[in-house]
Structure 1
Amino acid sequence: MGPFFSGNWAMIIEESRLAAAKQSGGISSSAIYNAVIAAAVDANPAPATILDFGTGSGQLLPVLADHFPGAKLHAADIMERPADLPEYVTWHRGDLNHEAPIAAASFEMVFAVEVIEHLENPRHMIREIARLLTPGGVAIMSTPNTGSIRSIVTFAARGHHAQFDDSNYPAHITPMGEVDFARIGNEAGLKCERFFYTATGMVPKLLSLRWQDLPLVGKSLRGRRFSDNFGVLFRKPIDARLI
């Protein structure tokens, strides 16, 4: 837990983080899964080892098994291993606010789908993922999009980004933008290759209506301003020093 927290305080913090993880449900939308899988397949269609970092209930794992049938799948989360998780998945339990109980340079591909907004220190998380990647390895992350029209309007009207209101707290605590990922990734020694967007976003004040469902213009409303979530693809340099 670190030098500043021990005994009862450590237990309180861990229980609080576990409760927040359970609140989120550990499930993302099909639009997010489709976007991250497309980015991953384009970056490396046949990784040998994959880690789902912050897997939650494990909903992404069957999708990964379908798209990367030859890969050895691992999952890490603060929660206990789900009872229905397939036996082919290796589970690593730990508080991801700290160093994961996994050896360095273990994975050719790491997914962190809708995870970073749950953690207290985004710099630590990205450094940790850089540690876990093999040289040349790829990391794919996604998070709520602070640059969408919905989020900008919400911030102007209410003082917080979309998906960071009281109903999402304390599960969602750390909003991130593209510039944050680019800066932190560079600090961690990762190359930011590109950002990508889910092309699914809700119209402010009309959350039952998507931009993409608007008549005539909906199909053209994609990208940063019209996506509720976005992702980033990092690559660890092939000549990176192993830690």
Structure 2
Amino acid sequence: MAETSIVREEIEQFGKLAGDWWDPKGASAMLHKLNPVRLGYIRDWIDQHWALDEHSRRPLAGKTALDVGCGAGLLAEPLARLGAKVTAIDPTPELISVARDHAAGQGLDIDYRVSAVEGLDGTFDLITSMEVIEHTADPQQFLNDLAERLAPDGLLIMSTPNATAWSKLITITLAERFGAIPKGTHDFDKFIAPERMKQLLAKAGLKCLDVEGLAFSPTRGLHLSEDLRLNYLLAATK
């Protein structure tokens, strides 16, 4: 069993992207396009899970949130605006530096830390980890560590590419070849199918509440879908 979820080569790869992380037309442009879809899913599930007012502008007020593999803060900042007390971690120092500077410029108080999840104390009401598990050394241990930090009645939301030929074609063969995603970002052998993910979650003591596809079409762009072939989001609890 791996002692850490960190893969050193991944840190080097993502550290190179820090400079233009917040540029919607830069190397991380795909993350900017993914973010609104992710946020829609998160908002729907926090409202469902805690029976919140779907019209509230700060539904996470009074709750703690942990964003694991936060990059330079694309998701952490909206979570803070939704009212959460946010801790956001990433093992890449360059990204955390950019995240802190950007949050300060937005007047947001986010606790950014250069850390892996196993190095973190405490529990959190909401844990998010988007497009991270496929970059870890040991997915099962990573989920075990997330489960340990999820508070009672807490909610875990994740996203990851599916282990399908379609996902390999779109994510690696096309997106990386033509520059939509930086080359070398993904390793298809580390992609996880939903069925296997549910097994890993169960072994970590987590119950999968929902799995929803993240699909792409020329007319709609990236959107939530019943089609799981490309990428999917999931919600889980203890």
| TM-score higher than 0.5 | yes
In the TM superposition, what whole-angstrom CA distance separates every residue of 1:195-238 from its partner, at most 9, and x where no partner exists? 1233x414xxxxxx24x48xxxxx9x93125x7431111101xx
Which residue in the other structure is 1:206 paired with?
Answer: none
Shift of 1:161: 5.2
Q: Deviations over 1:87-138 (max 9, x none)?
A: 51111212x3xx532114x201100012112223211211111011112211
Distance 1:137 1:223, change over 3 A: same
Show the counterpart of 1:172. Answer: 186
**Matching residue of 1:185:** 201
Q: Helix, strand or coil for the counterpart of 1:88?
A: coil
Matched position secondary structure for 2:210: strand
In 1, are the aligned partners of 2:127 and 2:155 still within 8 Å (CA)?
A: yes
Specify the code of the residue in structure 1 equivalent to 2:186. Answer: H
Inter-partner Cα distance in structure 1 for 2:46 and 2:230: 20
Residue equivalent to 2:56? none
1:224 is aligned to 227
Which residue among 157, 170, 176 is the counterpart of 1:162? 170
- SS of 2:103's equivalent in the other structure is coil
| 1:111 has 2:132 as partner | no
CA distance in 2 between partners of 1:138 and 1:161 (Å):
32
CA spacing shift, 1:18–1:193, aligned 2, 3 Å: same
Equivalent residue runs for 1:11-160 within 5 Å: 14=8, 16-22=9-15, 25=21, 27-28=31-32, 29=34, 30-44=36-50, 45=52, 46-47=59-60, 48-67=63-82, 69=83, 71-80=84-93, 81=96, 82=98, 83-86=101-104, 88-94=109-115, 96=116, 99-104=117-122, 106-146=123-163, 151-153=164-166, 160=168
**Alpha-carbon deviation of 1:22?**
3.3
CA distance in 1, matches of 2:77, 2:47: 15
Deviation at 1:169? 5.2
**Larger C-alpha radius of gyration, 1 or 2?**
1
Structure 2 CA distance for partners of 1:63 and 1:164, relative to 1, 3 Å: same
Aligned length: 196
Whole-Å separation in 2 of the counterparts to 1:122 and 1:62: 26
Residue identity matched to 2:121: A
Q: Is contact 2:210-2:234 (8 Å) kept? A: yes
Give 2:24's aligned residue.
none
Amino acid at match of 1:233: A
Relative to 1, partners in 2 of residues 1:66 and 1:197: Cα closer, same or farther, differing over 3 Å?
farther
1:23–1:171 contact (8 Å) kept in structure 2: no
Distance 2:172 2:42 in 1: 22
Fraction of identical pairs, as percent: 20
SS at match of 1:103: coil
Equivalent pair of 1:161/1:175 in contact (CA under 8 Å): no
Name which of 211, 234, 237 aligns with 2:236.
234
Q: What is the TM-score with the length of structure 2 in the denominator?
A: 0.70
Asked whether the 8 Å contact 1:110–1:139 carries over to 2, the reply is yes
Normalised by the size of structure 1, how large is the TM-score? 0.69
CA distance in 1: counterparts of 2:183 and 2:144, whole angstroms: 25
- Cα distance in 2 for residues equivalent to 1:107 and 1:161: 36
- Structure 2, unpaired ranges of 5+: 22-27, 53-58
Deviation at 1:153, TM superposition (A): 4.2
Letter in structure 1 aligned against 2:110: V
**Matched residue of 1:84: which SS?**
helix
